[in-house]
Amino acid sequence: MTTTAVADLLVVGAGVAGLTAAVAAADAGLTVTVLFKPSAGGAPSTSTAYAQGGIAVVDPSDPEDSIDRHVADTVGAGGPLVDVVATRSILADGPAAVDRLISWGAAFDRRPDGRLKRTREGGHTVSRIIHAGGDATGAEVQRALTAAAKTRPTLTARPAQAYALLADGDRVVGVRTAEGDAFGRTVLLATGGAGHLFSSTTNPLGATGDGIALAEAAGADVRELEFVQFHPTMLYTPGARGRRPLISEAVRGEGAHLVDANGDAVMDGVHPMGDLAPRDVVARAVTDAMERTAAPCVYLDATMIPDVADRFPTVTEAVRAAGLDPQTDLIPVVPGAHYLCGGVVTDLHGATGVPGLYAAGEVARTGLHGANRLASNSLLEALVMGLRVATAAQAAPALPGGPVREIAPPHARAERDALQDAMTRSCGVRRTVDGLAGLTALLADPAFVADAPAVSSRDREDAVLTAVARRMAGQALARQESVTEVVEVRP
């Protein structure tokens, strides 16, 4: 096993949060090591690259918008669990964070006068979402950050799956991978979410909850995992499992609407914002419509958008691959596991309660998302928090220099397909006390969860998924109320 030199900042994950921290830290003169799970083609496996939605950010010159209004929309979607102080702090730093990203080479769609083009998505009361390539914002952000990282001489990146943390006393000082140990004065977990706890998800294969399990094993506070956001419009394909294409919410922002198998409008009488209601509301309405009609899906009608192929090239490509044309055909959709609103609790600088350990992006819980993330707030949060971690890393002390110990999650694991089916059935859009109680019992059953050493990377991922599933099911069972009712926030 090899050991790398100590970096000033060690980043696990190469999506928007991880690479923003890495590039900003390198620009500040720090040495940076980035470890990432590779996709089949060798590039980092990140949710960022698949993000069709945009970045929710206030235009300071728009008299119709303000940070206070953005905060109110955020709380309206996420309910009373949204930390208003943290939310205002993160959203207020949004415009400067986007400017920083643009200075690193990110190109966003612009109006003829050169100003950033903005649109609406669910839960937003004004048009404040910026996009790139229509519905390819995440791909552009990933491209720009990857390109910027490659030009920083003090930044190195390599594929590796972190399966344990390394600690010196009570301080985290590195990670252990199959390829060797890596050390850093500051260790940042930017590993994304855990969408593959469920049978169908919009997340890439690497989203298996690694950072959550690692941080919890080290003693970090992990909170509100029960709040999984199910995107209401994932492309439906009979019998499909694993990652499925997302049909961006921005399609509804441009006028598309949901209809059930009988052709009736799904959102009529459900919410004042109709098809642009918060995602949890729309996902439940879609589920209700499927149950009411005994149909396996509902449909998104985008035929009224005259330039749908130009406006949404990523969506159009996915729909055409399924043998349909969004300009003339209804698009079959179902809710799919999309985003983890809870996670590793951090302060407003990304620090966990464990010395030396930071978290940013979907793996973290800052208090911004509450019980239901407002559309397109995630990329903004990742940008802002990535920059803040880079600043915090500049003040990190030298490593103690003592002996290190390994901190790894439990190795017991369930078979993945069976785990995903159980989670989808009992911890999905529809949850009951009996269902969750049965799920927690199943996850404690040695006949379902094998207590065997993890040998392969797949074994380790399955063990992580099982550990996160146990925590999520337990927190969901303990949560006895709905907390996404509208809450008024006054400036």
Contact yes or no for 209/339 (Cβ under 8 A): no
d(CA 302, CA 325): 10
| Cα torsion through 46, 47, 48, 49, rounded to 10 | 70
By CB neighbour count within 10 A (0-12 exposed, 13-18 middle, 19+ buried), where does 63 fall? exposed
Specify the residue for token string 């997302």. Answer: 246
CA atoms within 13 A on the CB side of 211: 35
Which of 369, 385, 380, 378 lies closest to 58 in space, CA to CA? 380
d(CA 75, CA 86): 12
**490 in catalytic set:** no
Is the sign of the CA dihedral 33, 38, 43, 48 positive or negative? negative
d(CA 23, CA 50): 21
Per DSSP, the residues of 320-337 read HHTT--TTTSPEEEEEEE
d(CA 318, CA 315): 5
Which of 224, 223, 164, 234 lies closest to 198 in space, CA to CA? 234
Specify the residue for token string 């970096």. Answer: 7
Strand partners, 406: 166
Q: Where are the beta strands (DSSP E) in 114-170?
A: 118-119, 129-130, 155-159, 162-168
Among residues 118, 152, 243, 279, the one annotated as catalytic is 279
CA distances from 293 to 289, 296, 331, 430, 470 (A): 6, 9, 17, 17, 33
How many other C-beta atoms can be found within 10 angstroms of the C-beta atom of residue 241?
13
Tokens of 303: 């035929």
The gap from C-alpha 337 to its chain's centroid, in whole angstroms, comes to: 10
d(CA 385, CA 90): 8
d(CA 416, CA 427): 15
CA atoms within 13 A on the CB side of 480: 1
Residues whose CB falls within 8 Å of the CB of residue 475, separated by 6 or more in sequence, listed in order: 223, 224, 225, 226, 342
Strand partners, 242: 200
Q: Which residues are catalytic?
A: 279
